[in-house]
Structure 1
């Protein structure tokens, strides 16, 4: 159960920023005993994987804070984020089960991959849909603020998933509530705008 929560939290974080959970897992696996990746995923903690992830994270952090460019970045992320979510979910749950002497996830890696892809894909979709709304509503000024908040959420969610996985459900519910609140606010503003336009047309 805890392994699944760890995978879910990390894949959800990947939906916000693909490289933050990947890099954290890689560094923690490389320099601590908290995560012991099984041999088929050992490449994640290699020098070249960490280096590439660090470069990609830097570019993601910069590009995602520029209005319009962030939407292009999200379009690319449609493929990258779910794929990373699937990889990280499978790797971490296999590592957890490996430590406990169970080979179920290691023998059925497609289960973790599928769950990670779905989780990251849902979060990514919410991010990609909401960002243009923020950009239009703030004339692009809100992009760096929202992006920084998403990066912070990805770091927090990743660390909680690794060290306190029991809290992952709470954080995921909080993200769901925030997404619903944003959608509801958008719907309300659209309704008010339509009412104003109707009144103007009537007068």
Structure 2
């Protein structure tokens, strides 16, 4: 159960920023005993994987803070963030001794699918809200929100690794935030279609 919570937290973090949970898992596996990546996933903490991940993270941090460019970046990331969520969920559950005899080991694709779904949902909320934030703040909100998302991704990653039980609370807060943003997006779009519309 704890391994599943860790995977859920990491995949949700990947929905905000694909490369932060990947790099944290890679570095933790490389320099500590907290995670030992099993066969098939050991490449994650290799020099080349960490190097490429670092370069992509730097590009993501810059591009995601530029209005309009962030929307293009989010479109590209539609394929990357859910994939990373599936990978990191599967890697974290496979690395756990708890799941060595659990049903997830017998059905490894379950971890991948769950990771893709969780990361995809978070990414969808992020992608839908960003154009509204940019339009509502004349682009000023893009770097602020992007920085908050990066911090949130890092925080959720650390929680998932150190205190996975708290992932339940973190995901509940994230779900509330995504629902709130979705309602705001709907209200904003309805107001644009009908300027006379007065939200109740």
Fold conserved between structures, TM > 0.5: yes
Aligned residue pairs total 198
Between the aligned partners of 2:168 and 2:183, the Cα distance in structure 1 is 22
* Structure 1 pair 194–87 and aligned structure 2 pair: CA distance change class (3 A): closer
Q: Which residue of 1 aligns with 2:65?
A: 65
For 1:46, the equivalent position in structure 2 comes to 46
| Root mean square deviation, CA, Å | 1.9
Judging changes above 3 Å, is the alpha-carbon distance between structure 1 residues 120 and 101 closer, same or farther for their aligned structure 2 residues?
A: closer
Kept after mapping to 2: 8 A contact 1:14/1:120 = yes
Give the Cα–Cα distance (whole angstroms) in 2 for the partners of residues 190 and 79 of structure 1: 25
Check the 8 A contact 2:2/2:164 in 1, yes or no.
yes
Q: CA deviation at 1:152?
A: 0.4
For structure 2, list consecutive stretches of 5 or more residues without a partner in the other structure: none
Secondary structure at the aligned position of 1:30 is classed as: helix
Q: Which has the larger radius of gyration?
A: 1
TM-score, length-normalised on structure 2? 0.92
Is 1:19 the counterpart of 2:26? The answer is no
* TM-score w.r.t. length of structure 1: 0.91
Contact map agreement 1:94 1:103 (CA 8 A) in 2: no
Q: Aligned equivalents of 1:196 and 1:49: distance in 2?
A: 50
